[in-house]
Amino acid sequence: MKINISKIIIFSFVIFFLSIFWQGLKINNNYDTKSLIGNQISNFQLAKLDNNTQYISEKDLAENTYTLINFFASWCSPCRNEHKYLLNLSNEKKQIKIIGINFKDKKNNAMNFLNELGNPYDFVGTDSDGKISILFGIYGIPESILVDSDLTIIKKIVGPINQFQYDKILKLIQ
């Protein structure tokens, strides 16, 4: 076999592919976004749910001591379960601001949801096609992210907030 450039290229390509597969076997596939803790929130811009001309961005978050970003939707039943904890949090703890991001939802449904259960949010942004939520590593809702004033993620909650998670949040913001 005569060795020439194209053969070398093809062989190295195959070797590259196979070694990636080999490495791929070793990585843990249970999608875990805990690694996001310690990362900083980067640029984002969210339109307000009931007013498309108002926006919120990471600069607004920097003004709060703590911000809890909560991803919710009217069609998501576990979101209803965690709602009372969010209401408690917004009523009792003034050092934390809560931002709701309405995920893949229709505006009217979301408004009805908040009218029915109460609105714990200081700002409700809309992400109707779910694209901005990807930036936060969201793959299923409800999910919540706790951020401090440096925009660093200090906690990430996958699934609904329960008493246990609620107490943990309180501890973190003391």
CB closer to other proteins out of 78 and 122: 78
Binding string, residues 44-83; x marks residues near other proteins by CB under 8 A: ------------------------------xx-xx-xx--
Does 31 sit near other proteins (CB under 8 A)? Answer: yes
Q: Contact at 8 Å (CB) between 144 and 68?
A: yes
CA 121 distance to own-chain centroid: 15
CB closer to other proteins out of 22 and 164: 22
Beta strands in 85-140 (DSSP E): 96-103, 123-127
Q: How far is the CB of 50 from other proteins (least distance, A)?
A: 20
Measure the CA–CA gap between 159 and 108, rounded to whole angstroms: 24
Of the candidates 87, 76, 86, 150, which has an alpha carbon nearest to the alpha carbon of residue 113? 76
Q: How far is the CB of 107 from other proteins (least distance, A)?
A: 13
Does 106 sit near other proteins (CB under 8 A)? Answer: yes
Q: How far is the CB of 60 from other proteins (least distance, A)?
A: 27
Does 37 sit near other proteins (CB under 8 A)? Answer: no
Does 111 sit near other proteins (CB under 8 A)? Answer: no
Q: How far is the CB of 44 from other proteins (least distance, A)?
A: 17
120: preceding bond cis by omega (within 30 degrees): no
